[in-house]
Amino acid sequence: MRVENLASNTGELRDVVLPHLLGQVFHVTTGTGLHGIQRSGAIVPNSDGRFPWSTTQSPSSYGRSIAGVCLVDLRTATREVIDDALDRYYFLDPFTATRVNAFILLGAPALNALVPNHVGRGNFERLVVVPNVEVWYPGRLSLRLIDRVIRVKLKRPGKWDHMNLAVLEEIFAQRKAREK
- pLDDT tens by residue, 7-26: 999 999 999 999 999 999 99
CA dist 175 to 128, 159, 178, Å?
A: 52, 20, 5
Residue 103: pLDDT over 80: yes
Rounded distance, CA 48 to CA 121, Å? 22
Q: pLDDT class for 130, splitting at 50, 70, 90?
A: confident
SS3 58: helix
Residue pair 74/142 in contact (Cβ under 8 Å)? The answer is: no
Domain spans of the chain? 2-179
Which amino acid, one-letter code, is at 30? Answer: T
Q: What's the whole-number mean pLDDT along residues 92-96?
A: 89
Tell me which residue of 30, 35, 24 sits closest to 1, measured CA to CA.
35
Q: Which pLDDT tens digit goes with each residue over 36-82?
A: 999 999 999 876 656 655 554 545 566 777 778 999 999 999 999 99
Work out the pLDDT band at 96, boundaries 50, 70, 90. Answer: confident
